[in-house]
């Protein structure tokens, strides 16, 4: 039986694992892919110690540090957690585990547009990761749906490859952007911002060829990158009976306890005002520290 089992391999999960290992706890970390959503970030400029680093490179460094401390890192999907404090049973697709404490750092997943042919064109013109797919669109025309910082960062990355980049946003101005990003967008001649529009239809035969907007305009393009926010991966928490907000984020106290004894939350999946890698890391540290203190107290008792 492990002392601590961490679900999630993003900044919160890695930091929780690092802290747990340094507390000399027998620790296992399970996640579907290295880095979580931060691995898709074209550039991270607000993480101390790195003036500028890609999300993929940053997550690789976190993974490397975690493994160097002796943490068992498993890439698998956790599908069920049962039991109670000091005796949890965790079922993944390929194996089963037992642990005394659980840290849920399951993060978020990309929000979909919900259009009829969205799934059909996924990987055939529709993408949710500019970092992953930008290189496939050299000298082509692409669109980015969204108006937040993630959308602007994706547009800037794509403009280094594509002939033309449209930013398609439903509001009349970008949503709380970093001023430096807006300035960069304005300076790129191959980026055009189109406000107060929604994508209504995806058009194409075997792959995406154009998008139809709700202002009756049709834009021909080879790729559409969707950056309209994320939704929490809180199904495991819900099944455990953990209290969630109306938006399905995990509710924790200041020390990252949930209402279920022995289960803690950290990172983008919890109810917190700022969804950033640096804040997720701090929450992972808090969750691991609380788990350690409670294990130590229970040993004495």
Separation of alpha carbons 93 and 147, rounded Å: 37
Phi, psi of 35 (to 5 degrees): 95, -25
| 56 touches 39 (CB < 8 A) | yes
* Residues with active-site annotation: 129, 132-133
Burial class (CB in 10 A: 0-12, 13-18, 19+), 180: exposed
Separation of alpha carbons 211 and 295, rounded Å: 55
251: its two tokens: 């509710």
DSSP 54: -
How many other CB atoms are found less than 10 A from the CB of residue 201? 13
How many other CB atoms are found less than 10 A from the CB of residue 17? 32
| 270 touches 250 (CB < 8 A) | yes
């Amino acid at each position: 039986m492990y002392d601590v089992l961490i679900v999630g391999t993003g900044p919160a999960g890695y930091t929780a694992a690092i802290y747990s290992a340094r507390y000399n706890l027998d620790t296992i970390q399970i996640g579907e892919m290295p880095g979580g959503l931060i691995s898709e970030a074209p550039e991270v400029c607000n993480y101390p110690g790195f003036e500028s680093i890609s999300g993929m490179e940053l997550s690789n460094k976190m993974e490397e540090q975690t493994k160097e401390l002796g943490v068992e890192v498993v890439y698998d999907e956790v599908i069920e957690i049962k039991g109670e404090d000091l005796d949890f049973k965790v079922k993944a697709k390929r194996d089963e585990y037992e642990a005394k404490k659980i840290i849920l750092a399951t993060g978020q997943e990309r929000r979909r547009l919900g259009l009829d042919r969205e799934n059909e064109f996924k990987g055939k013109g529709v993408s949710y990761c500019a970092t992953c797919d930008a290189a496939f669109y050299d000298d082509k025309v692409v669109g980015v749906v969204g108006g937040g910082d993630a959308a602007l960062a994706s547009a800037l990355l794509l403009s280094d490859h594509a002939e033309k980049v449209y930013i398609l946003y439903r509001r009349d101005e970008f949503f709380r952007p970093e001023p430096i990003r807006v300035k960069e967008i304005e300076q790129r001649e191959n980026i055009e911002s189109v406000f107060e529009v929604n994508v209504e239809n995806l058009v194409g035969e075997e792959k995406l060829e154009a998008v139809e907007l709700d202002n009756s305009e049709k834009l021909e393009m080879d790729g559409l990158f969707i950056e309209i926010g994320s939704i929490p991966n809180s199904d495991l928490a819900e099944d455990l009976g953990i209290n969630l907000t109306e938006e399905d984020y995990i509710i924790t106290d200041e020390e990252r306890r949930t209402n279920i004894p022995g289960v803690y939350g950290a990172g983008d999946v919890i109810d917190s005002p700022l969804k950033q890698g640096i804040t997720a890391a701090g929450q992972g540290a808090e969750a691991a520290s609380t788990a350690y203190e409670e294990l130590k107290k229970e040993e004495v008792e």
